[in-house]
Amino acid sequence: MTNEISEGKIRPVIKIMNKLTCFILILLIALKAFVCPDLARGQYQYNSPEKKEKSMFVDKQVRAFGMDRFYDNLDASTKSFIVGDLVEFIIKVENNGLTELNNIVVTDYLPKNLEIVLSDGTYNSTDRTIVWKKDVMIVNEKKEYYFRAKIINDNINSGVYTNVVKGSASTVEDQDTSSYVLGKGNSVIPKTGASNLMIGTIFSLTSVGGALLLRKKIRGY
């Protein structure tokens, strides 16, 4: 009897608490939707920086001739160049803006201890520049330029040298650099050229072949 009376008193209280809880939850959801609608819809996310209307990106890398990859910079622990060595550069240009670029000009400024050997650009020996031009680059278009040069003896001290490249288009521009280390010494090219080396090799092979044939005749096997 006592238990039934207690339960009869508790049930209305529980109902009121449940209603109150529901009311509070609804109120919180409403406030959340009013203050921050993106959070309420679960659509809040990190917004990356907006792209510029016109923008370009220039990246330059360097390697010694024969290396299997390019580097942003070459320190002495990777390669120390000496007079006569060949060095290669690659320049990457990208239109990373929202609209196309026009009248693109890429200019590389050669240090005094570099002599151009191979390039797909226009070389100016007076101001020691290599220039590439392109009329249009559409959005996200990428272009690569390449050149090879030789370390020359121009009374330059050993140390770190930097090659600069600049890109421009309409009202935007960007630039990048690649550094390399010049040590002391010279790359010695053997006096025996490729033709002499080939003749010597043929002569050696002929001599060995003749000796084998002579031994076969003498020994009978």
Q: Is there a single domain that holds both residue 71 and residue 153?
A: yes
Question: Nearest CA to 163 among 212, 129, 119?
Answer: 129
pLDDT tens, position by position, 156-214: 788 999 999 999 998 899 999 999 999 876 654 433 333 343 434 333 334 434 443 44
Count of structural domains, the chain: 2
* Gyration radius of the chain's alpha carbons: 37
Question: How confident is the model over 112-159, as pLDDT tens digits?
Answer: 899 999 999 999 999 999 999 999 999 999 999 999 999 998 677 889
89 in the same domain as 146: yes
* Residues 39-68 pLDDT 10s: 444 444 444 556 788 999 999 999 999 999
Whole-number mean pLDDT of the chain? 77
Tell me the torsion sign for CA atoms 114, 120, 121, 126: positive
Look at residues 139, 150, 95 and name the one whose alpha carbon lies nearest to residue 117.
150
User: Are 35 and 68 within one domain?
Assistant: no
- Residues 15 and 75 both lie in one domain: no
Which domain, by its residues, includes 120?
56-186
Q: How far is it, in rounded angstroms, from Cα 108 to Cα 170?
A: 18
Judgement on whether residues 37 and 96 belong to the same structural domain of the protein: no
The answer on 132 and 107 residing in a single domain is: yes
Same domain, 153 and 96: yes
Give pLDDT, residue 29. Answer: 64
**Is residue 70 domain-shared with residue 15, that is, in the same domain?**
no
Q: Pick from 148, 120, 170: which is nearest to 63 by CA?
A: 148
- Report how far residue 213's alpha carbon sits from residue 217's, in angstroms, rounded to the nearest whole number: 6
Within-domain flag for 77: yes
What is the predicted pLDDT for the residue at 187? 56
pLDDT at 192: 37
- Whether 9 and 107 share a structural domain: no
137 lies in the same domain as 65: yes
Residues 37 and 60 placed together within one structural domain of the fold: no
Please answer whether residues 120 and 147 qualify as being in contact, where contact means their C-beta atoms are separated by less than 8 angstroms: yes
Give percent above pLDDT 70 in the chain.
60
Q: What is the pLDDT of residue 49?
A: 59
Same domain, 28 and 63: no
